Structure 1
Amino acid sequence: MTGNTCFVTKAWVEMAFPEDHVLITCGRGQPHPPKLRAITLDNKERIGQLVDSYEFDRIVYFSEYLTPHSEQEGELDRLRRVLQANRDRESQLLYLAGPEAVLTPAIGKTVVAQAAEALCRHYAETSKVQIKVLHLPYLYGCDGTGAPAGIAGLLTRMRDGELHFDEQALAPVFALCMEDLSELVLRVFDNWTPEWESFTAPVVFALNYEQLGEAWKALHPGLKMTYGTDLIRTYPPDDGVLRCRYGWFPRYSLEDDLPRLFRTETHARHSRTWGQRLGGLRERHRHLLEAAEIVASFGFTELLVQLTGSQAQFRVVDFRLAFIVLAANVYGLNAGVAAALLASASLAVGYWEQGASPLLLFYEPSNWLAFLVYFVVGAVCGYVQLRSAENVRFAEEQCRLLEERLRFVRQLYQDTMEDKRSLRRQILGRRDSFGKVYAVTRALNETPPDKLPAKTVELLEDVFQNRSAAFYFVDAAGRTAKRAACSEGAEAPRFLEGPALAALVQTLEQEEVWVNRTLKPGLPMFGAAVRVDGKLRALVLLYDAGGEQLSLHYQNLFRILCGLVETAMTRAAQPLPEKRPRRQEVRA
């Protein structure tokens, strides 16, 4: 998942991709989602390195237009790099576009959003990547810290008890919950088709910004709402395509979810420690605090000058110069010059108190020396501090980049080890499968004909680690199948007849293995026919199978086992050869 991934949380990934290994990319400066595997795209070549290393089967690109009033600069270039890196791979790419391309009347952002869709279509027609575009309303949910994200993030921009929306009060709100999106993404990938398609998710809940503001105001007593003058735009009506094709429709309303968002936002705000709050306060008012500290230090310096001015042992100590050096070394060049200016003013006042006139100070060059020293020391110390801070910042940036690269290489190593273990299990499993086939063949050959159904169920349970196997004998007319053996606790009916049996028999006439791909209730997941002399005599069924057992490997294994059962039944149906009397040898 790449692009505007600020909405992605661990819970959302588990709902949208419950059985997949997911990697999330973040932009430079964007915090990583907690408890998720994420990589920072610190350069333009990193996306190509990721594609070459991981060979993604599915890609989800979150557009910047999913967040209202966000920075969309570089959207087309980032999307083009992702498409270009995957153009030679048969991967599935879902572009989650915002509403800008379908809103009317059109504005400048509409042209850019439509250009992104045209770019996706171009790569879908000229490359191997399979692309679908999904136009969505503005998303809302909570980020990794629990704070509201997306269009819900507009509700947290309160200043001095006032919340301002750029939209007009009667402008409609286009919002879609992230939980609804997870269900839609899951269904789109489960029913993926290779052709290019573009869908538009509907807005089914009527809500304008005035109603949204009043509902949020009810949770924040005393909050003042103001609205802007942006153009009122309309969203296209529901075309029913997503409902008919995927059985999906939005279930959550932003207005109904406001109390939940309020609780999560309040909890995230109050869960911060005092140190984090003070750090945030200092970061927001950094320049003001620096000025206050410099003024306080200057006041303390003046106090020392006044207290020690009459003592001879302090005549050789220049507190003003010490103040300049400290301010410049701590706060930098600008603070050093400002401290020199304050110290010069203090020194000039001291001269005036001793009877020196301003004209004497100005026309006597020897009196300038102290002021020049103050400014030179402040500038030099400030410059040294500035260079040191720049070097430290550069070193921290290099360290951060090295940490990102180390994390990237470490994740590659971990993924490689996982692939190695997975391939090792597959190789050992395949190597061991020959032994299983031999053991199954030997067991079936040694089993009496009347014990074959029970033995078949036992072997299926052992090979598949599944307790839902069943064996049925089919009558000569092929209209009824009677259960001969089944697993303990399996929900296998005693008789199969009517449409259920007809569906199985009709499919098994054309294919070797029945697979319930549409998950029809009442029918087994796997089924195979056992024929003797070309006539249907029995059915071997597996009623329940996990997601990992729906692969082609298990289908082939089921086909092989049922073929061995068919061979055993055919051998059992053949009459035994007659024993001839042993001819005695006569010797002359």
Structure 2
Amino acid sequence: MKVLVTGGYGFIGSHVADRFHKEGHEVYIIDNLITGQKKNIDFKHKGYVLSVEDEKCEEIFRSNKFDAVVHMAAQVSVPSSITNPIHDTESNVLGLVNMLNLSKKYHVSKFIYASSAAVYGEKTELPIKETDACVPISPYGISKWVGESYCKKWQEMYGLQTLGFRFSNVYGPRQDARGEGGVIATFISRMIAGQPLHVHGEGNQTRDYIYVEDVADAIFRASYSPLTGIYNLSTGTELRVNEIVEALKAPQVEHVEKRPGDIERSVLDNSLIKRDLDWTPMYSIQEGLERTYRYFEQEWAKAEAAATAAVEPTALRAVSRHAYKFLIPYAENLLAFALTAWLTLSQQYSSYGAIDVKLFYITIMGNLYGNRQSILAVVLSIGLFLYQKLMDGREFISLLYDTDFFFQIAIYLFIGLVVGYSIDRKNAQIQNQEQKLEEMEGKYAFLHDLYNEVREVKEELQMRILKSGDSYGKIYSITKELESLEPEQVFHATVNVVKSIMNAPTVSIYTVNRTGTYLRLVAHSSAQELQAPKSLKVGDHDYIQAMLADGKVFVNKQLSAGAPLMCAPIYYRDQIAAVVAIDGLSFETFSLYHQNLFKVTTDLVSSALSKAFAFIEATENQRYVEGTSLLRPEAFQVILRSKQLAKEQNQTPYLLLRGKQTDQHFAEMSDRLDGMLRETDYIGLDEDHHLVVLLSNTSLEDANHVLNRFAQKGISLQVAEEEL
């Protein structure tokens, strides 16, 4: 079984993934790694670093046909949901809806959802049952309650089996010391660090604590069960926070302010899940605390060893890199200023009309580093200019009245600001383009990974298709249903076969007239909303012209209006004798496999029709009245039965007309009728040797018009009694 665990690198999700892996199932994980850590999973699996609300998740569902989805990804902190309810809603509602929609779209058998006891709110009657009213008091509880409603509605509307578990307070190894459920992890972490435990309020709040492996066991067993709906998942035991403190034997305890949104008492009734799933929690609170403490103790020892070996040098290198990156522009600026000052004050450049090196200095600094360094260069240049004036014997007070002095300063400021701003703007644009490029590279890397994954399983999928009993059944059905030697029966069988094989609601078959200018409908399926036209003029449809010209299967990849999804030519003696078209196929399930399957099917139809046409030609003298185009009674009855069957199964209309002419008029009548009929119509004799005309795709409502047309040519016909 293929199982997708969202949030699979997180606390509960990693234990769920562990359990499925130990039972021999293929595990896939989606996690954005905000709270999860890849180190929590040490077995072979396929992981995707994505948020569950990301649209790229569809590529994962499309590439992997999951049997079950366990949705654990969520924002789990009650205080965080109060301070940032928008983020809570994005993760817990939008992410869930995305997973539900993709599970429905790609036919997931079971969807298991992690809810919370927070949906109940503050309750006075304990233990809380699943039937009790939900009155959440925090945005986190609201989002979980809304999620349950979505799951229920997806099951009602789409038949997706959904099962939600309202967790009590889950604890155990790998838990992050955040959120309401992380009180035990927080206590143990502070104990190991030698810090006092912070108890919110008096510590008389009660909770129902359940060990994480008991949760994973319930989820695994539920994935095989027919259970749907909502269940409490808990131990059914109410424990005060102070009792946890006592069990941990904490040496230091401090009472702090009570948290907003904190429920005073909570314990869930687990009798329903125990009865329906035959499940019961295995770990007592003491066993769970001991196992959790050992895990955190080992992790603390590993962290300290790693910190001693690497943290200080790493931190030093990081600080050094940061300092170097920050100081180097200033150092280069000062060095450039020193060179500028030397050139400016030297005898060579001190004469009247000399080039002002300071302008070059300001421009270069602005081009190299942008506005910050150009402004610094301006300040230094102004100082150097002032120094020059003072060295020339000018009084400082007199400079304040010198317009040339202020004009020169204005030039420095203008050059510095313009160059600095331009470079900063250019750098911002470059940074924006780099960011877009990085995003595109990320998307490319993601799709490239999916591409490689698809290539890895390509051969396996092909073998599954080839070895599938269903595929053998399809090929067998084609060969059996197309065994007739009568073209009309082959046409009718083709509609049923193609409709069954391709799962397409609309299948139409057209014959090509002798001049290749029209296609005449001979058979079609019964999708009323997609009725096929009775004839198509080749010149009016580009796709028909192209198909008749190159003889290849047409695939409507552009979804052009007025064209079917696919159509393929049917050959007889290297000439296109007919065309098979399908439409109404769900495009989300349309793939190269369907195109290949359609090609194989039409090739078999071509083979069957070739045999039928060859048989007709070989037995022509036995089918027609000698010297006429009239079908003998036995040949006409075969065609009539085929038309009757097509009408019963696919509502394909036909009109049967009968005349009263005697034998001596048959030759003359057949010649006159032959020029008035289409390629898909037939004339012949019935069992009483009366003249009969069979008009394809003509309903009883068209009878008067048809009879008048024949009457104008002096041919007297009437609707056969079978049609009345």
Shift, 1:405, TM fit: 0.4
**C-alpha distance after superposition, 1:279-304 (max 9, x if no partner):** 99569x97x98666655655666666
Alignment partner of 1:24 is 2:29: yes
Bigger Rg, structure 1 or 2: 2
Aligned to 1:80: 97
Alignment partner of 1:397 is 2:439: yes
Aligned to 2:380: 346
Shift, 1:246, TM fit: 0.9
Aligned to 1:373: 415
**Mapping of residues 33-432 of structure 1, within 5 Å:** 33=38, 35-41=44-50, 44-70=54-80, 71-74=87-90, 75-87=92-104, 89=107, 91-104=109-122, 106-109=136-139, 110-139=141-170, 152=182, 168=201, 170=203, 171=205, 176-190=210-224, 192-202=225-235, 204=237, 206=239, 208=241, 227=257, 229-233=259-263, 234-244=265-275, 245-251=278-284, 253=288, 257-258=292-293, 260-265=295-300, 267-268=302-303, 271=306, 273=310, 277-278=314-315, 325=364, 329=368, 336-354=370-388, 355=390, 357-358=399-400, 360=402, 364-420=406-462
**C-alpha distance after superposition, 1:381-434 (max 9, x if no partner):** 22222222222222222111101001112223324444456678898xx9xxxx
Q: Secondary structure at the match of 1:100?
A: helix
- Go from structure 1 to structure 2 and tell me whether the alpha carbon gap of 1:195 and 1:381 turns closer, same or farther (over 3 Å shift): closer
**C-alpha distance after superposition, 1:134-181 (max 9, x if no partner):** 1114555666xx9778755868899xx999979546255666544333
CA distance in 2, matches of 1:213, 1:324: 71
Aligned to 2:491: none
Tell me the TM-score normalized by structure 1: 0.56
Letter aligned with residue 385 of structure 1: N
Aligned to 2:715: none
Question: For the Cα contact (< 8 Å) 1:10–1:36, is it kept in 2?
Answer: no
Shift, 1:83, TM fit: 1.8
Q: Percent identity?
A: 11
- Go from structure 1 to structure 2 and tell me whether the alpha carbon gap of 1:262 and 1:172 turns closer, same or farther (over 3 Å shift): farther
- Go from structure 1 to structure 2 and tell me whether the alpha carbon gap of 1:390 and 1:302 turns closer, same or farther (over 3 Å shift): same
CA distance in 2, matches of 1:163, 1:339: 50
Q: Secondary structure at the match of 1:39?
A: strand
- Go from structure 1 to structure 2 and tell me whether the alpha carbon gap of 1:255 and 1:28 turns closer, same or farther (over 3 Å shift): closer
CA distance in 1, matches of 2:407, 2:453: 68
CA distance in 2, matches of 1:33, 1:312: 68
**C-alpha distance after superposition, 1:256-298 (max 9, x if no partner):** 6245225325524753756994499569x97x98666655655
Letter aligned with residue 13 of structure 1: A
Shift, 1:56, TM fit: 1.6
CA distance in 2, matches of 1:327, 1:138: 59
Aligned to 1:527: none
- Go from structure 1 to structure 2 and tell me whether the alpha carbon gap of 1:408 and 1:165 turns closer, same or farther (over 3 Å shift): farther
Letter aligned with residue 64 of structure 1: A
Moved more, 30-39 or 239-248: 30-39
**C-alpha distance after superposition, 1:185-219 (max 9, x if no partner):** 222224x124434223237473538966997987x
CA distance in 2, matches of 1:205, 1:321: 78
- Taking CA–CA contacts closer than 8 Å with sequence separation of 6 or more, which of the two structures ends up with the larger relative contact order? 1
Number of matched pairs:
414
**C-alpha distance after superposition, 1:59-78 (max 9, x if no partner):** 10014144554542322222
- Go from structure 1 to structure 2 and tell me whether the alpha carbon gap of 1:208 and 1:147 turns closer, same or farther (over 3 Å shift): closer
CA distance in 2, matches of 1:313, 1:226: 75
CA distance in 1, matches of 2:327, 2:378: 19
Shift, 1:36, TM fit: 3.0
Question: For the Cα contact (< 8 Å) 1:4–1:64, is it kept in 2?
Answer: yes
CA distance in 1, matches of 2:400, 2:242: 64
Moved more, 348-357 or 272-281: 272-281
Letter aligned with residue 24 of structure 1: I
Shift, 1:226, TM fit: 5.7
- Go from structure 1 to structure 2 and tell me whether the alpha carbon gap of 1:149 and 1:107 turns closer, same or farther (over 3 Å shift): closer
Question: For the Cα contact (< 8 Å) 2:172–2:292, is it kept in 1?
Answer: no
Shift, 1:127, TM fit: 2.2
Shift, 1:379, TM fit: 1.8
Letter aligned with residue 374 of structure 2: A
Q: Secondary structure at the match of 1:64?
A: coil
Shift, 1:47, TM fit: 3.7
- Go from structure 1 to structure 2 and tell me whether the alpha carbon gap of 1:398 and 1:337 turns closer, same or farther (over 3 Å shift): same
Question: For the Cα contact (< 8 Å) 1:15–1:183, is it kept in 2?
Answer: yes
- Go from structure 1 to structure 2 and tell me whether the alpha carbon gap of 1:262 and 1:339 turns closer, same or farther (over 3 Å shift): farther
Shift, 1:113, TM fit: 2.0
**C-alpha distance after superposition, 1:533-577 (max 9, x if no partner):** xxxxxxxxxxxxxxxxxxxxxxxxxxxxxxxxxxxxxxxxxxxxx
- Go from structure 1 to structure 2 and tell me whether the alpha carbon gap of 1:395 and 1:111 turns closer, same or farther (over 3 Å shift): closer
CA distance in 1, matches of 2:363, 2:171: 51
Question: For the Cα contact (< 8 Å) 1:134–1:201, is it kept in 2?
Answer: no
Q: Secondary structure at the match of 2:48?
A: strand
Question: For the Cα contact (< 8 Å) 1:147–1:268, is it kept in 2?
Answer: no
CA distance in 2, matches of 1:313, 1:261: 74
Shift, 1:131, TM fit: 1.2
Structure 2 residue runs without a partner (length 5+): 81-86, 124-135, 391-395, 473-724
CA distance in 2, matches of 1:309, 1:226: 67
- Go from structure 1 to structure 2 and tell me whether the alpha carbon gap of 1:271 and 1:291 turns closer, same or farther (over 3 Å shift): same
**Mapping of residues 361-510 of structure 1, within 5 Å:** 364-420=406-462
CA distance in 1, matches of 2:176, 2:348: 60
Question: For the Cα contact (< 8 Å) 1:124–1:131, is it kept in 2?
Answer: yes
Letter aligned with residue 165 of structure 2: L
Shift, 1:15, TM fit: 2.1
Question: For the Cα contact (< 8 Å) 1:65–1:97, is it kept in 2?
Answer: no
Question: For the Cα contact (< 8 Å) 2:10–2:36, is it kept in 1?
Answer: no
- Go from structure 1 to structure 2 and tell me whether the alpha carbon gap of 1:26 and 1:339 turns closer, same or farther (over 3 Å shift): same
Q: Secondary structure at the match of 1:396?
A: helix
Tell me the TM-score normalized by structure 2: 0.47
Structure 1 residue runs without a partner (length 5+): 331-335, 431-588
